[in-house]
Structure 1
Amino acid sequence: MDFFNSALGKNITFVRPAYFIISGFIGIPNINYYYVFLCVVYIVSVLGNTAVMAIIYLDYNLRTPKYVAVFNLAFVDLVGSSALVPKVIDIFLFNHPSIPYSDCLIFMFFCYTCLLMQSFNLVALSYDRLVAIIFPLHYQVKVTHRFMLSLIASFWVFVVIAVLITVGYITRLSFCESVVINSYFCDHGQMYRLACNDNTPSFVIAKLIPFLSLWLPLVFILLSYSYIGYALYKKTTFQERVKAFKTCTAHISLVTIYFIPVLVTFTMNANIHPNARIINLSLTSVFPPMLNPIIYVLQTQEIKTSLKRILKITKQSRMTVKKTAILSKTLSLFCFMLI
């Protein structure tokens, strides 16, 4: 982050506190039950996303461009949940509200990186469905492993650079008075408002990054599905439309559970209680990583088939090992009797 400071000159000194205090959930009635709920959500998220990644890795039939994006989404959900939930539990349940300055910036970086990558990952999956349905004969040419890997890599580069700039400008702020962040993590919006010097660059970033990383992806996804619906209405029968949209149900479900809570929270931001806003935002952060693997396992036929195949192979392997052990014991007993 020294680059941001050196650009302002060597003689400028910023007031950087030793720590920040996270106070988001403090004072909310019966909040301990919510912490237990977060623990359950985190366990389900870890198990579910790990299972999806393992299934895609183990089944060669799932190594397609689409499942490259699904694997990346599961990875992002796993990292995002692991970066956020354990720290939230440590801060509030175990009463460690203070967090060192540098740790707070790292906390912010991982939370925002994973949050924004979820959005762009849904764009990659949306493009995959668009080409698969509208241009099925050209799908193998237009959506290749190399293309999907390049697309996801470009999203990673953009998000990492955007979040680094966001965090970097926080280091240009002086915190002369309060160090209490009224959120459940090191929230950029809450932090830059505490600054006692000019926070205009951070204000601009707070408006620009959501537009580029949330609203534009949502517009692309909505336009892609509008085009899919229009093309299917013009060229196919009702049964064919239903069959085509069935291949999109998992993705549409992911888009719904990711974007609707964000839209509701930001649309009603001025009209809801601060505690309700914090709860809503925290649910927005933890719910999609938990539900994404469940949706893909339940609604995607390829993953269900792959899971059944893996379980069958595992069962057969155990039976083979068991039969081998029995045969070995029988041979040993027979040899002993001969001796």
Structure 2
Amino acid sequence: MEKWNHTSNDFILLGLFPQNQTGFLLLFFIMLVFFLATMGNMAMIHLIRVDPHLHTPMYYLLSQLSLMDLMYISTTVPKMAFNFLFGQKDISFLGCGVQNFFFLTMAACEGLLLASMAYDQYVAICHPLHYPIRMSNRMCVKIIIGSWTLGSINSLVYTVYILHFSYWRSKAIDHFFCDVSAMLSLACMDTWVYEYMVFTSTTLFLLLPFLGITASYGRVLFAVYHMRSKEGRKKAFTTCSTHLTVVIFYYAPFVYTYLWPKNLHSPAEYKILAVFYTILTPMLNPIIYSLRNKEVLGAMTRVFGIFSFLKE
């Protein structure tokens, strides 16, 4: 095979759907999900910004989660839809790098942020008297800045590294966006160092936070079980189950994709799993956090004048 001079050629994204009637139907569904995710996350950010009742560390972190989800889904879906509708498959070398950077940044940032939200719930329920100190507004700002900074630095290192690979002329990426795993198969050089780095990064930014979240919520559920107040038990259990739903939908496909041996995956599996953490989760987050949270529903009533029938 011949090497590809990446300074003058584009990558080719093979996409997610076939170019037929079924593909158009599936694309319509994805665009509907994209619209719901965009509107839902923008509404959540606006609510938290304008409603004083939501000016707490928990909701500040939630607003950042919505911002990350908004950027997450905007990184992949518009380009995929454009290529499908206009019969194109190409993406420039620079465009692939930019897409890769934002995807990796959001993946790392969201992993750290979800762990921080689990810690917030742990302190609020298990150590309520210490909450004003452990989760002060200043600490919340540090968590947010730290998540964005670590995620961006991690992503920048990986993006610069992978863009310096030499590639074969067969530069078709069997994916709907510039995913690291799919790009590695196109490199005409030994990539074991990069693969080891990906494994290490996935462990640090996804697996360890996931284990921390599991431990935090395990401790929270134990504390909830021993609560005397039935109403308090119900509210705490609802909050924990809501967060765990988001965590499972986000972490499970990611960990399976990047920590499971590559020879046990097929390109189709990679793409299906990617749909969960790049498209479905950004839509589900605002729905789950709003419809199962009376404080958010109350904010919607005050700001938008909707869901007034749910107000007690």
Same fold (TM over 0.5): yes
Q: Does the alignment pair 1:20 with 2:28?
A: no
Measured after TM superposition, the shift of residue 192 of structure 1 is 2.3
Contact 1:249 1:299 in 2 (8 A): no
Structure 1 counterpart of 2:271: 278
Cα distance between partner residues in 2 of 1:238 and 1:61: 23
Structure 2 counterpart of 1:309: 302
Cα distance between partner residues in 1 of 2:108 and 2:19: 28
Cα distance between partner residues in 2 of 1:63 and 1:226: 27
Q: Does the alignment pair 1:92 with 2:84?
A: yes
Contact 1:42 1:81 in 2 (8 A): yes
Give secondary structure in 2 for the equivalent of 1:248: helix
Counterpart pick for 1:230 among 222, 226, 233: 222
Cα distance between partner residues in 2 of 1:26 and 1:306: 39
Give secondary structure in 1 for the equivalent of 2:189: coil
Cα distance between partner residues in 1 of 2:19 and 2:255: 24
Counterpart pick for 1:40 among 32, 41, 45: 32
Cα pair distance change 1:133/1:26, threshold 3 Å: closer
Cα distance between partner residues in 2 of 1:200 and 1:102: 24
* Residues 121-156 of structure 1, C-alpha deviations (whole Å, 9 max, x = no match): 211110110000011111112111110110111111
Contact 2:57 2:137 in 1 (8 A): yes
Contact 2:57 2:136 in 1 (8 A): yes
Number of positions where the alignment pairs a residue of Structure 1 with one of Structure 2: 301
Cα pair distance change 1:203/1:262, threshold 3 Å: closer
Contact 1:184 1:282 in 2 (8 A): no
Cα distance between partner residues in 1 of 2:268 and 2:190: 28
TM-score (norm 1): 0.81
Measured after TM superposition, the shift of residue 257 of structure 1 is 2.1
**Is the radius of gyration larger for structure 1 or structure 2?**
1
Cα distance between partner residues in 1 of 2:92 and 2:53: 46
Matched AA of 1:161: I
Cα pair distance change 1:131/1:74, threshold 3 Å: same
Cα pair distance change 1:302/1:136, threshold 3 Å: same
Give secondary structure in 2 for the equivalent of 1:66: helix
4+ residue runs of structure 1 moved beyond 6 angstroms?
Answer: none
TM-score (norm 2): 0.88
Cα distance between partner residues in 1 of 2:236 and 2:268: 42
Cα distance between partner residues in 2 of 1:51 and 1:261: 27
Counterpart pick for 1:147 among 136, 139, 146: 139
What aligned pairs does 1:137-286 form with structure 2 within 5 A after superposition?
137-233=129-225, 235-237=226-228, 239=230, 241-263=233-255, 270=263, 273-286=266-279
Contact 1:28 1:275 in 2 (8 A): no
Structure 1 counterpart of 2:69: 77
Structure 2 counterpart of 1:328: none
Cα pair distance change 1:124/1:170, threshold 3 Å: same
The farther-off stretch of 254-263 and 107-116 is 254-263
For structure 1, the 5+ residue unaligned runs are 1-13, 316-339
Cα distance between partner residues in 1 of 2:76 and 2:246: 20
Cα pair distance change 1:203/1:312, threshold 3 Å: closer
Cα distance between partner residues in 2 of 1:42 and 1:164: 26
Matched AA of 1:96: Q
* Residues 290-312 of structure 1, C-alpha deviations (whole Å, 9 max, x = no match): 01111111011111111112234
Cα distance between partner residues in 1 of 2:245 and 2:251: 10
For structure 2, the 5+ residue unaligned runs are none
Measured after TM superposition, the shift of residue 246 of structure 1 is 2.6
Structure 2 counterpart of 1:113: 105
Cα distance between partner residues in 2 of 1:146 and 1:181: 43
Cα pair distance change 1:153/1:59, threshold 3 Å: same
Give secondary structure in 2 for the equivalent of 1:161: helix
What aligned pairs does 1:51-62 form with structure 2 within 5 A after superposition?
51-62=43-54
Cα distance between partner residues in 1 of 2:149 and 2:106: 12
Contact 1:24 1:275 in 2 (8 A): no
The farther-off stretch of 99-108 and 259-268 is 259-268
Measured after TM superposition, the shift of residue 178 of structure 1 is 1.7
Measured after TM superposition, the shift of residue 252 of structure 1 is 2.0
Cα distance between partner residues in 2 of 1:253 and 1:45: 17
Cα distance between partner residues in 1 of 2:252 and 2:189: 35
Contact 1:25 1:92 in 2 (8 A): no
C-alpha RMSD over aligned residues? 2.5
